[in-house]
């Protein structure tokens, strides 16, 4: 997994560094309804938009996974309760006096 991370990081750097160097010209960004313009380099604007998209997508994925996380928490609590019940039953059986075969038909 660490190897995949570094491969993706290096590939992104190989793509983004020349992009940033080639697109240093300033562009005017008007933020409607605000009355002023912001001058930013084109590469910075593109990278900020990509970052915003990444954050919005990650947030949407996290919200969409809410039902799955809730079900996993419910199942984990159920498993823990069953494990406690099993441990109690096992300890009760271990402490139980053993019966001899008296009174049982042979």
Q: Report the alpha-carbon distance of residue 45 to residue 40 in Å, rounded.
A: 7
What is the tally of structural domains in the chain? Answer: 1
Structural domain includes residue 54:
yes
Q: Report the alpha-carbon distance of residue 49 to residue 42 in Å, rounded.
A: 11
> What was the pLDDT predicted at 59?
97
Q: What is the pTM of this model?
A: 0.64
104 has pLDDT over 60: no
Give the range of the structural domain holding residue 87, as residue numbers without chain letter.
Answer: 2-92
89 token code pair: 């039953």
Mean of pLDDT over the chain: 91
With tokens 């160097």, the residue in question is: 21
51 token code pair: 């970052």
Q: Report the alpha-carbon distance of residue 17 to residue 12 in Å, rounded.
A: 8
Q: Span 63-82, mean pLDDT?
A: 97
Structural domain includes residue 98:
no
80 has pLDDT over 80: yes
Structural domain includes residue 80:
yes
Contact 9, 18 (CB under 8 A): no
């Amino acid at each position: 997994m660490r190897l995949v991370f570094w491969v993706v990081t290096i590939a992104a750097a190989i793509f983004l560094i020349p992009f940033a160097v080639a697109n240093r010209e300033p562009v005017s960004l008007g933020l409607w309804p605000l009355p002023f313009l912001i001058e930013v380099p084109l590469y910075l604007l593109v990278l900020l938009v990509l970052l915003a998209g990444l954050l919005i997508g990650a947030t949407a994925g996290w919200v969409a996974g809410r039902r799955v996380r809730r079900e996993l928490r419910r199942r984990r609590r159920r498993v823990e309760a069953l494990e406690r019940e099993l441990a109690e039953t096992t300890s009760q059986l271990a402490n139980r006096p053993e019966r001899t075969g008296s009174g049982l038909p042979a």
